[in-house]
Amino acid sequence: MGGDTCGKTLILAGGLGTRLGHLTFRTPKPMMPIRGEPFLAYPMRHLGSLGLRKFILAVAFMPQKIRDHFGDGRDFGWEIEYSTEPYLMGTGGAVLYAQPMWGDRVLVVNGDTYTVEDWRKLIDFHGTHDKLITKAVIGGVHAGAHVVEREAFAEFSSGRNFSMERDLFPLVPYAVYPCECGFADIGTPERLEAFREAVC
- Residue 11 in contact with residue 58, Cβ under 8 Å? yes
- What confidence tens digit (pLDDT) does each residue in 159-200 have? 999 999 999 999 999 999 999 887 888 878 888 888 888 875
Q: Taking residues 66-94, what's their average pLDDT?
A: 97
CATH number assigned to the domain with residue range 9-199, chosen from the 4 options 1.20.1600.10, 3.40.50.970, 3.90.550.10, 3.60.40.10: 3.90.550.10
Q: Taking residues 101-108, what's their average pLDDT?
A: 97
Q: Taking residues 93-114, what's their average pLDDT?
A: 96
Would you tell me how many other CB atoms lie within 10 Å of the CB of residue 150? 17
Give the DSSP letter string of 101-134: HHTTEEEEEETTEEE---HHHHHHHHHTS--SEE
Confidence of residue 47 (pLDDT cuts 50, 70, 90): very high
